[in-house]
Structure 1
Amino acid sequence: MQLEQDLYIRLIETTDQTAVITREEFISTTDKIIKRWLNEANEDVPFVVLTCGEKDMGKSIFTRYLINRALDHINSTFGLTYFDCDIGQCEFTIGGCLSYTDIETPLLGPPCSHIKSNAKSDRLLYYGFVSPQPAPVRYLQYVNRLRQLWNIDHKNANKKRSMIVVNTMGWVTGLGLELLKEKICMFSPNVVIQLRNTLVSHQDRNKMPDLTLEWLLRQPVFAPYRDKIKMNNKRQQDYDGQLSYEYIKIQSAAVSDPIHSHRPKLYGRDHRLLATWSYFFTSPDLSSIHLPWSQLLHVFLLNKTNKYSDVIPNTLERSIVALCSSEKFEQLQKSAMNVNGIYRLLNYEDELFDCLGFGWIEHCSNDTQTYEIYTPVKSLSNINLLACGVFDTPDEFQYMFNREKLK
């Protein structure tokens, strides 16, 4: 078949040879953190551990190791939650998302093996980009919103003495460092763990500084975000001055093994593509649904030149969208542009939307004015928004969904 001739297979060596951390340092650090968590956490205030470091320093490896060892203590009294603020390489979702996930089982594989298509108790927010750079204020608003949602959910559920593990991005210079400071201020961690390269000079201005409390007080804030939340200088001093955390630096021998240096490695986009594959095609719940586009609000999160701004819904065909929900639907609809009964909001940043999952728009029917969408999401009744942002879409997806039709 011609269809089969158009497909190809790309093999990628997934063994990461770039980050080597001694097992003894892993054990001693994690044991120390877990002991503090068990002794200091209470039902009202979680014990927060924030991990940071440049790219390829082994943050994910260390975080998974910490979580897996902490799982030994999970019971009716102690809980464990993973906050993912790395929108470029998410651990439990496809790219462009912020989420928190209550952990109950070990993390034994790469991120694409942890994808949850139908998380019930977890929270998912769709930011729309794979980097904070296009909309850094909105990114921080999403981080803050996620933290607030955890507080609400924790208050309404059976309270536990929780440890929150916060994963951050590897962008740690310039604006990235300012955003990291704001995240530290938001989460008010008990412990900040930084993975550093022992072979890089501390005099290198392009490298990440030691994130000590002294650094925190010297580091400039991200003023546009503070202005957005109307934080005056007095409140700012109180806000930053109350922070106190234990700073732990783990040395990461980030040296490529010359024997294996010829092997291709997985980059951020590779991880996002694998996560997208996993989200749709490892779920037993993947099915085709039909949604009337007149009952949906179309939210476009891209810049003013986004390709969807002129003609919808046909331009959404064969693309991924975020299936979202908002209690302010009628209010948002009034401020939306209405073109032939299709409501759309362009470059909308004033509202943060809860994401229920994702869907692949296979077909737009002008006859029935409905979308044919493939999605593993079960709870469809609350979907009233389609959010369109940046998605890394595998080229082979069109063939895969054609196969689903033939089943």
Structure 2
Amino acid sequence: NNHHEDFESCKYVGTLNINDNPLEYLKACTSVMTSVHNYINQSKQRCPIIFNSLGWIKGIGLEIIKELVMLTLPSHLVFLKSNQVSQNGQNDAKIFFDDLFTTPRVFSKSSQNDLESFVVLENTNLIELSSSSPSQFSFQPFDHRTLRFMFYLSHNPEYPLSFDPRPLSSVPPFVIPFNDVALCIPFEKIERSNYLLAFNASLVALLYNPNYHFDENSTPKNFPRFLRNECEAVGESQCLGYGFIRSIDHKNCLYHLITPLSSDKLSKVNIIARSNMDLQPSMLTPAVRDMNAPYIEHLAAEGLGAMQRR
């Protein structure tokens, strides 16, 4: 997958912080890896698979990397050394590899004294490379997420190499009836009576699950639909893309959705899951540009008599 092509498989985890639910993240990674292997076997193409970790090599992050290493069994394990000053071993490849292989896996079901509880690799090359990134970073993870969403939502599916320069507030939305999709807020405790408030003007994941079930007991006519088991439904779903709920028409029971997905793909969506990421004002309004004005009318003062406008 790259920025200009559709992904073969995508899972929605439902949280910005993997620490909240690491097991769901690992389940999603397992599902994606299964899809990748199936795709390679069906296409009969030999191609490299690059698995990019979270870059988090301490605490729960290290435990997640252990599970991913055992899941992927890589031929090469690359440690990118940052130019920043090392803090608590975060920038030391030797410490990282020692921690990776000499401490038992927390998520392993085996006994802590069992060899299966440790990361064991054969014929894997351990490589350390210096990162080409600058020593001082001007962007935080929050900024990167915002930029990636702005990039994604401005993508024009009809012209893969072009982008829509308009702000989201001026893009015509798709109209989706309440009865066509189920709303879902995974891993969050929110009363269903407040779901429409939570979804209005929010970023959402567009999911497809052929085996999902509506919660018919709590779904009156002309009312938003819900799922019986939200976490289970999301975990089993394929993420087709992302979008933005511009507004909700309560009277006509319609969602107004902005997304770069085509109509064909959007017609497959049967679950809309709310993101934990907040919508940024910069996504809605035009960018500010410096321009030279041909003339300027300046209001010197207001009032009566000699007070004039020039």
Structure 2 counterpart of 1:278, which letter? F
The aligned runs of 1:275-290 (5 Å cut-off) are 275-283=148-156, 288-290=173-175
1:243 aligns with 2:121: yes
1:316 aligns with 2:199: yes
CA contact (8 A) 2:78 2:127 kept: yes
Percent identity for Structure 1 against Structure 2: 20
Residue 270 of structure 2 corresponds to which residue in structure 1? 384
Residues 335 and 194 (structure 1 numbering): CA distance in 2 closer, same or farther, change over 3 Å?
farther
Structure 1 counterpart of 2:184, which letter? V
Structure 2 counterpart of 1:320, which letter? L
Deviation at 1:296, TM superposition (A): 1.4
Among candidates 173, 177, 183, match of residue 298 of structure 1: 183
Residue 73 of structure 1 corresponds to which residue in structure 2? none
CA distance in 2, matches of 1:360, 1:200: 39
1:159 aligns with 2:44: yes
Deviation at 1:399, TM superposition (A): 3.8
Residue 342 of structure 1 corresponds to which residue in structure 2? 224
CA distance in 2, matches of 1:171, 1:241: 17
The aligned runs of 1:23-38 (5 Å cut-off) are none
CA distance in 2, matches of 1:271, 1:167: 16
CA contact (8 A) 1:296 1:385 kept: yes
CA contact (8 A) 2:204 2:275 kept: yes
Residue 250 of structure 2 corresponds to which residue in structure 1? 366
1:133 aligns with 2:19: yes
Deviation at 1:314, TM superposition (A): 4.4
The aligned runs of 1:4-403 (5 Å cut-off) are 101=1, 115-116=3-4, 119=6, 122-156=8-42, 158-196=43-81, 204=88, 210=94, 215-223=99-107, 226=108, 231-233=109-111, 237-238=115-116, 240=118, 243-244=121-122, 245-252=124-131, 256=135, 265-283=138-156, 288-304=173-189, 306=190, 309-330=192-213, 333-334=214-215, 337-338=218-219, 341-345=223-227, 348-351=230-233, 352=235, 353-378=237-262, 379-399=265-285
- Partner of 2:47, secondary structure, is strand
CA distance in 2, matches of 1:146, 1:131: 19
Q: Number of matched residues? A: 268
Report the structure number with the largest CA radius of gyration.
2
Q: TM-score, normalised by structure 2?
A: 0.74
**Which stretches in structure 1 are left out of the alignment for 5+ residues?**
1-100, 102-113, 401-407
Residue 28 of structure 1 corresponds to which residue in structure 2? none
**Alignment RMSD (CA, Å):** 3.3
CA contact (8 A) 2:183 2:271 kept: yes
CA distance in 2, matches of 1:153, 1:337: 39
Deviation at 1:282, TM superposition (A): 3.3
Structure 2 counterpart of 1:344, which letter? F
CA contact (8 A) 1:272 1:392 kept: no
Deviations 1:282-312 (A, max 9, x none): 32557521111122121212432x5x74423
Deviation at 1:242, TM superposition (A): 5.3
CA contact (8 A) 1:128 1:302 kept: yes
User: More strand by proportion, 1 or 2?
Assistant: 1
CA distance in 1, matches of 2:116, 2:250: 57
Deviation at 1:183, TM superposition (A): 0.8
Deviation at 1:201, TM superposition (A): 6.6
